[in-house]
């Protein structure tokens, strides 16, 4: 299906990793270009402020990579919301000991130096991109931690497994933002690349909007682009 131009009346929701930036070997190694920063600023102006990032990364991480982004950031799969720089509110707080979870993750991953622990305010992730053969061990570790933390759920991601609060997701983040100005009353457009994005894609389409899958893999999205570069090109064409 041909991807139509982005309407200036749409509410635009964008994932970060694998969507706006290429997947990197480590989460802290992503490359954010000046062109991306400029593109987001121009989109924010064109859409009347109705541009939001919705990511599994926490808000502080996203704001750190994009300090000049003037729009809304929903982090930690919708557990955190930042309406502007310097503002963060918790939308959903799971009852668990984050410090204990992070300590357990580090201890269980320690025998495997190739594994990368990502500590988040509302959970944690274990990345095995550098050692795909360790996926069964990662799954065992994370399932064990999930059993010890009943308020968290196991979330598969690209070359990683994550524990995050149950009952939240990128779909609930999108739905919440659609109740707020300047998103309210617009048709949502969501672009993402991972299984964690699928519920938000379905949510956007259920509201009469549009979903765009970035990259390969099964999807509910009606539209697909091959990579972040193709998404950038589509967004730039919409800006002209």
CATH of the domain at 146: 3.30.70.1020
Are 70 and 139 within one domain?
no
Are 66 and 111 within one domain?
no
Q: Give first-to-last CA distance, the chain, whole Å.
A: 22
Q: Is 37 exposed, middle or buried (0-12, 13-18, 19+ CB in 10 A)?
A: middle
Q: Indicate yes or no: pTM above 0.75.
A: yes
Are 87 and 57 within one domain?
yes
Are 21 and 85 within one domain?
yes
In this prediction, residues 52-80 reach a mean pLDDT of 94
In this prediction, residues 132-136 reach a mean pLDDT of 96
* Residue 3: inside a domain: no
Are 128 and 62 within one domain?
no
What order do you get walking across the sheet with 223-225 strand by strand?
89-90, 80-82, 72-75, 51-54, 11-14, 188-192, 210-214, 223-225
* Residue 2: inside a domain: no
Are 87 and 106 within one domain?
no
Are 67 and 115 within one domain?
no
Are 155 and 227 within one domain?
no
CB 164 within 8 Å of CB 199: no
Q: Which of 150, 165, 180 is the last residue of a domain?
A: 165
pLDDT value at position 158? 86
pLDDT digits (tens, 9 = 90+) for 145-171: 999 888 889 999 889 999 988 888 999
* Residue 6: inside a domain: no
Are 198 and 103 within one domain?
no
pLDDT digits (tens, 9 = 90+) for 16-51: 999 999 999 888 899 999 999 999 999 999 999 999
Q: How many CB atoms lie within 10 A of CB 133?
A: 8
- Asked if residue 125 has pLDDT above 90, the reply is yes
Give how many domains the chain has, as a whole number.
2
Spatial distance between the Cα atoms of 17 and 56, rounded to a whole number of angstroms = 9
Are 103 and 153 within one domain?
yes
Structural domain including 130 reads: 98-165
15 is catalytic: yes
Which neighbouring-strand residues pair with 214? 225
For the four alpha carbons of 144, 171, 22 and 68, in that order, the dihedral sign comes to negative
What is the Cα Rg of the chain in Å? 17
Residue of 9, 15, 104, 236 marked catalytic: 15
Which band of pLDDT confidence, cut at 50, 70 and 90, is reported for residue 1?
low
* The pairing of beta strand 80-82 with beta strand 72-75: antiparallel
Q: Which of 111, 144, 165 is the last residue of a domain?
A: 165
Q: Which residue has the tokens 């500590």?
A: 119
Are 146 and 210 within one domain?
no
Spatial distance between the Cα atoms of 145 and 154, rounded to a whole number of angstroms = 9
- 9 is written with which tokens? 């009346």
- SS3 of 137, please? helix
Spatial distance between the Cα atoms of 44 and 205, rounded to a whole number of angstroms = 22
Give the containing element (helix H, strand E) for 147.
helix 135-148
Q: Which residue has the tokens 């994005």?
A: 197
């Amino acid at each position: 299906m041909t991807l139509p131009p982005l309407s200036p009346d749409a509410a635009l929701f964008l994932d970060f990793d694998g969507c706006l930036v290429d997947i990197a070997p480590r989460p802290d190694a992503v490359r954010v270009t000046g062109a991306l920063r400029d593109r987001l600023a121009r989109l924010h102006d064109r859409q009347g402020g109705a541009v939001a990032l919705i990511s599994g990364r926490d808000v502080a991480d996203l704001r750190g990579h994009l300090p000049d982004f003037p729009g809304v950031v929903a982090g930690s799969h919708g557990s955190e919301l930042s309406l502007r720089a310097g503002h963060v509110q918790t939308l959903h707080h799971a009852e668990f000991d984050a410090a204990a979870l992070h300590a357990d993750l580090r201890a269980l991953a320690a025998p495997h130096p190739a594994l990368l622990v990502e500590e988040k305010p509302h959970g944690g992730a274990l990345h095995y991109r550098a050692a795909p053969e360790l996926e069964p061990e990662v799954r065992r570790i994370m399932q064990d931690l999930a059993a010890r933390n009943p308020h968290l759920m196991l979330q598969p991601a690209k070359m990683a497994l994550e524990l995050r609060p149950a009952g939240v997701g990128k779909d609930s983040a999108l739905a919440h933002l659609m109740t707020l100005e300047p998103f309210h009353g617009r048709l949502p457009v969501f672009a993402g690349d991972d299984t964690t994005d699928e519920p938000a894609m379905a949510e956007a389409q259920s509201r009469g909007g549009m979903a765009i899958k970035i990259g390969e893999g099964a999807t509910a999205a009606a539209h697909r682009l091959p990579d972040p570069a193709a998404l950038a090109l589509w967004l730039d064409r919409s800006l002209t």
